[in-house]
Amino acid sequence: MAGDAVEACMDAYYRAFREADIERMMDLWADRPDIVCIHPGSPRAHRGTAEVMESWLLVFSRELNIGIEPRIVGRFETDDSLGMVIEEAITRPGDVAPTGTILISQTWRRVDGGWRLAFHHASHGRRADPSPEGMLVAGGGSQTRH
């Protein structure tokens, strides 16, 4: 059952995201003043249903012509909550392989027998795996670039 809930939540989230369907996306969220959503590069946290909806409308207004391959890298589940850490491999038009990563943590709460998002935090991860040679500064011994 645990895996079923996680998979169902992920499927519903990515369907709403890929279709840029604001109604479907907002149906996933708990209708509470304490929900929080943070998007990659966002200057602030969006709190409450109205702000969260506005933030998704902005995301969906942009061209979302990207490939997304999500992979769960961590999870927990209790009777009334579940959490996931997701790593998304991002492929943009013209790329032959993923060139970016988005890191996401989500917390879902059981509400009226169904699962609803309470927290969503997404941030940029690495762009591409650096080569071992690219990790060292030329002539700099063992100093790494950061």
Residue-range domain boundaries for the chain:
2-127
E-strand ranges in 23-80 read 36-38, 46-47, 67-77
Domain topology for 2-127: Nuclear Transport Factor 2; Chain: A, (3.10.450)
Q: What is the pLDDT of residues 68-118, one digit of tens each?
A: 999 999 999 999 999 999 999 999 888 888 889 999 999 999 998 899 999
Average pLDDT over residues 133-139: 45
pTM beyond 0.75, yes or no? yes
Question: Rounded to an integer, what distance in angstroms lies between the CA atom of residue 31 and that of residue 115?
Answer: 12
